[in-house]
Amino acid sequence: MNYVINGKEFRELLSADTIERAIGREAARIREHYANLDPVFVIVLKGAMFFAVDLIRAVAMPCTVEVLSAKSYGDAMESSGELRLSEISAVIRNRHVVVIEDIVDTGLTLKKILDQLKHQFPASVQVATLLSKPSVTKEQLELRYCCFEVGPEFLIGYGLDYAEQGRELKAVYALHRESAE
Ligand code: PRP
């Protein structure tokens, strides 16, 4: 089924089943790497919260959960370049941190988050992301746990929005065309 938002038509790219399998695979890797390390999962709001809940439950090990909000896109399809980042309240000094993102696009958001976290002296910082767009990313970033590498098309669903719509969808959809509606 296709979705139309603000006159734009989106077509399914990744089904809910495909997403669930990939999350299970990356969760197993995290569980193995962080056994007995009591990791801190830092969820980057708002988009990553859907992925984060499913991932953290699939990892199913003792952990701390923290949130951080980053906002750069507004209602547009491209980054505004202006990034608003909140502080995290958890003490991460000497802790093993996993930043959870829904998508790494240009990489500017994640780069800024990683730079900010480094100032708090964590024992380690790794990244888990549902989606990565290597052809668009401008920063050198290690995405240790990545469910899918995708092309440059604009995506919605499973936490990703267009003008705050589409986050609730269980699959991921790519922009297909301008709708005739
Ligand atoms: C999205 C996404 C990432 C960021 C990636 O957030 O959740 O945090 O953009 O883009 P980048 O790699 O080009 O920096 P957005 O600003 O849309 O906020 P949201 O998560 O609240 O939708």
Residue 38 annotated to the active site: no
Q: What is the pLDDT, as a whole number, of residue 87?
A: 78
Question: How much distance in Å is there from the Cα of 36 to the middle of ligand 1?
Answer: 31
Q: What percent of the chain has pLDDT over 70?
A: 93
CA–CA separation, 142 and 71 (whole Å): 21
Handedness of CA 111, 102, 125, 133 (dihedral sign): negative
How far does the centroid of ligand 1 lie from the alpha carbon of residue 73, in Å? 6
Q: How confident is the model at residue 179 (pLDDT cuts 50, 70, 90)?
A: low
51-100, pLDDT tens digit by residue? 999 999 999 999 999 999 987 756 666 666 677 788 777 789 999 999 99
Pocket flag, ligand 1, residue 116 (CB < 6 Å): no
pLDDT beyond 90 at 2: no
CB-neighbour burial class of residue 153 (10 A; exposed 0-12, middle 13-18, buried 19+) = middle
What is the dihedral angle through the alpha carbons of 21, 126, 87, 115, rounded to the nearest 10 degrees? -140
DSSP secondary structure letters along 31-58: HHHTTTS--EEEEEETTTHHHHHHHHHH
Atom number, ligand 1, closest to the C-alpha of residue 83: 16
- Which tokens hold the place of 41? 């999962």
Structure token pair of residue 36: 């007995």
Residue 181, pLDDT above cutoff 60:
no
Whether ligand 1 lies within 6 angstroms of the CB of 167 is answered as: no
Would you say residue 10 has pLDDT above 60?
A: yes
Is any ligand 1 atom within 6 A of the Cβ of residue 46?
yes
166 lines ligand 1 (CB under 6 A): no
Whether the Cβ atoms of residue 133 and residue 104 lie closer than 8 Å to each other = yes
What pTM did the predictor assign? 0.93
Q: From the candidates 54, 102, 105, 161, give the one annotated as an active-site residue.
A: 105
Tell me the three state secondary structure of residue 102.
Answer: strand
Provide mean pLDDT across the span 94-119: 95
What pLDDT, on a 0 to 100 scale, did the predictor assign at position 88? 77
